[in-house]
Structure 1
């Protein structure tokens, strides 16, 4: 299939993009990489009246660190390509979970065109980037005619492919508190290489306490309640099994043509156990991630 007709407009600054979004009153879509939007348009799952091309804005220097030395923040401009994150030493140091997750995104073509901001804004509940940013406790910075607004990632994802962004807001940055030296893990099961995740698990520990995020089991990336995992000790096999089982029992995934609800729940149990083991293993035995 082919998309329906639409207007093409180009913005060379975020101010221009915001102005155009305001003019189109919710009928326009931002396009940069287009790796998710264009296939949906071809299938006529989304029918924008206009596309606003923001590629002229660029990645504004790529990932950087802001803030005081005792609380650094990794800032990733929205138009940063996945491939840039994959090779960024700044991301490798301050958010290795995110860099690892990017390796699992699509294929080489997708990683060279797709953007971090676009992936977060698209809000696919199976996406590696949304799950990782949620586990990392990121903040989404948006711009609108009313100014700049920061939304915690915990409040950004609303339901399937739907976010807290207003019709005239555009995502300009993803801001992530540094996780230097903190343990992490990411694991997923896909039907085939580079495919959408059937179930994904991201784990990011801070001060020894893990945050667990699941993909593919709800209408948005799902952060697991902290008390389901608690202070699990990976040397306690029974405790580890109990935590993984509690997480699996807490979710209510839907079945579809790709996987039954029961199969997804079983995957949650296996992947959570594996990811917790990887992330929280003693430092002298810890691997490089799930």
Structure 2
């Protein structure tokens, strides 16, 4: 199966689709069993599971993580590869080749530099990076869906005009999907979608519903780190109950052991 082609078809089909973000093989298998049509990695989710901050995972470790998740599911897997292998346009192209070699159906690359003093790449460099990544994706033998991300709203620059300018330039440079995470206003989401012609990904948040995002013109919804942070909150709340109350009522809300045992028995022979 050409997972890249299957993934692209989800973007070409009518309506909207959900693409949640597991952080290990177990959560990958669980989400795949529930009927989602595609999954995505979370850079923050994986980093937190390793006891690291978001942005603290080396590129090679992230690629191995992608391979681990891919081996746990037959679904198309998209990867959050942060800024990629480096800062240059050439490194952006190399990122695509590494992603495809890992078995990914698609990936995203950001215009966040990782430099606290100059967090967003200068406009022309950001566009050159997207152009190089797009060219690399089109040079692959199989289909591959490349997402270009404009990171202003996640890094203290809530400039919708510059964000749209970047997304439009990324579209012209060949990106397949456009993504500006951190926008929490549905009117701004609608403005982004109406400003470009390629599919738009939005990171879900408490202020949105699927119906609202569909009406706004969104094609794809991901959750970024939210499933991971929700799981961490559940563990923290359970620990506080044990320490503060001396009770274990949280266990009544746990998934049944037998259900998980049955699910993971299906992957017992997998090399993951």
Q: Is TM-score (shorter-chain normalized) higher than 0.5?
A: no
Higher relative contact order (CA 8 A, sep 6+): 2
The answer to which structure has the higher strand fraction is 1
